[in-house]
Amino acid sequence: MNRFQTALCILGVLTTMTTHASETACPALLDHKVRQLAGDQVDHLCQTYQGQVVMIVNTASKCGFTPQFDGLEALYRKYKAQGFVVLGFPSADFGGQEYASEQESADFCRLTYGVQFPMYATTHAKKGKADPLFQGLAEAANGDYPSWNFHKYVLDRNGALIGSFGSFTGPSSSKLEKLIQSALGG
């Protein structure tokens, strides 16, 4: 084997090692592929949001807590440039308070509350029905499953759960905002 062939062989091994390392570096709580709301595009949460502070929320369009969309959008806009993102997941698990059509859900969020943060496909968040993302979040939160709409899970830049907040803790909560600021390094 000449030097050129040896160099190509080494390069191939290094590429394989780097690819494997980047695949295994994905935090488990972000290692999910989810479809965007009312669309066909699928995002791998790890590839899209790794290194950011992430808040994951189960939302509903026809709930008493629905006005929290305003506060969630305000947090997103306030801290987006610092590496913060809110991810909304509509769910009809609690009182059937979500539209049957994802397009209706998407239009409602955008037109009524001006939601610009990423929204994903309607999902299940309730204990016993939770999809793998919400099951993993609840398990990381010592069994703290959403008991209603607008439960908030906060992950740090490493993808580790650092907070779980029920519906009554609104986006304007000083405790929640302090946690976000701390996770952002400010």
Residues marked active site are found at: 63
Query: 10 Å Cβ neighbour count for 88?
Result: 23
**Rounded (5°) CA angle 88-91-93:** 150
Q: Phi first, then psi: give them for residue 35, nearest 5 degrees.
A: -90, 140
DSSP states along 110-177 = HHHH---S-BB-----STTT--HHHHHHHHHTTT---SSS--EEEE-TTS-EEEEE-TTS-TT-HHHH
- Among residues 117, 95, 119, the alpha carbon closest in space to that of 105 is found at 119
